[in-house]
Amino acid sequence: MDFKLSEEQQAYQSLARQFARNELAPNAAAWDLEQTFPIEVLRKAGELGFMGVYCPVQAGGLGLSRLDASIVFEELAQGCTSTTAFMTIHNMATWMVAAYGPPDTVAAICPKLASGEHLASYCLTEPGAGSDAAALKTTATRTEGGYRLNGTKAFISGAGETDILVVMARVADESGVREGAGGISTFVVRGDARGVSYGRKENKMGWNSQPTRQVIFHDAQLKEVDRLGAEGDGFKIAMRGLDGGRINIATCSVGTAQAALVQAVAYMNERSAFGEPLRSFQGLQFKAADMATNLVAARQMVRLAATKLDDGDAEATLFAAMAKRFATDVCFDICNDALQIHGGYGYTKEYPLERYVRDTRVHQILEGTNEIMRVIIARKLLLEQNLDMLL
């Protein structure tokens, strides 16, 4: 397997690195402290194509691969984890509209999303349906020519500030509500549509540069063309989106861990204790060595999963789950270890380490908790009993 990046990939990597250093990193601490959603910077990212990285060219995006997207998002996350994470969610929602929307809907919505002129949220989780997403209760009741949407979504990134909502809902008609995963459909809803309202902004541990709110639907009227894919395909669409979403969020962890390791190594070279530089202490040398080794392992696992998804591999879901589980766990540990190396300074806002720890912690929860990732992996291993799929 060739691990060398192509010239085109290196060019996108360099462009993302420059944007992260110039637009994200200098502002990340202030956005976190003031809980600012940097819409104008997101629009600048859109001008470079970063808001539609793997959205098809004909829909206004760059049309890059998931591996290319991972390379881009890793660089951006080194500038601001929280803002980049929102960008990946927006990219996922944009791709879902482009991949499954009717032609007129794609033409009307996707170019504005891909350019960053409009922003999108992904609405799957509900107050009573997190890990068990198939248990969602939001209903889309059949009407003449469309649907009537009712229900509540929870923990929605960007909610209240975004223009487009990609919503999973259970279809209902005169025969009743369709139960099970096969009863779920996917819809595009305008963020300012009548019947759409928002809860208070959640007061979170991290991810403070993006708002998180409930989204409440009360008799919101939808047209037939607002549905993505066929009726009953919503859960499949959601899970296909999450394969890429899990790779994206794992990538954000890798990028943040890279930034944390850079900070830790610089600190070990600058700071002394007991008359010796920190880099001379074997305990810290071993810690840094483990951090670097785990970082490289996480990066390669994420890029392998992205390649599997690009290739349409039958086990792409498995590899995405493994990459998400491993990368978000070990990269959180890398950030935490980097904080520890900084001692008391790492716990202060003078350094970015405490923000890295807070922002990466949620990656072990969203896009499917790491416990659910283990369920996915274990079912594959124990039910199919085919270890060749790991090769």
Positions marked active-site:
367
* Spatial contact of 53 and 16, defined as CB atoms under 8 Å apart: no
The residue written with tokens 């929280």 in the block is 82
Sequence letter at residue 15: L
10 Å Cβ neighbour count for 245?
A: 26
What is the longest distance spanned by two Cα atoms in the chain?
79
* Spatial contact of 31 and 82, defined as CB atoms under 8 Å apart: yes
> Token pair of 230, please?
């066929």
Q: How far is CA 381 from the centre of its chain?
A: 26
> Token pair of 247, please?
């790779």
Backbone angles phi, psi at 190, to 5 degrees: -70, 135
Q: Would you state the torsion angle of the CA atoms of residues 62, 65, 70, 73, taken in this order, to the nearest 10 degrees?
A: 10
Cα separation of 281 and 255, whole Å? 27
Cα separation of 1 and 14, whole Å? 23
The Cα-based distances of 112 to 24, 59, 97 in angstroms read 22, 9, 12
Cα separation of 20 and 9, whole Å? 16
Measured between its terminal Cα atoms, the distance across the chain in Å is 12
Pairing of strands 164-173, 184-190: antiparallel
- Residue 103's Cβ-count burial label (10 Å; 0-12, 13-18, 19+) is exposed
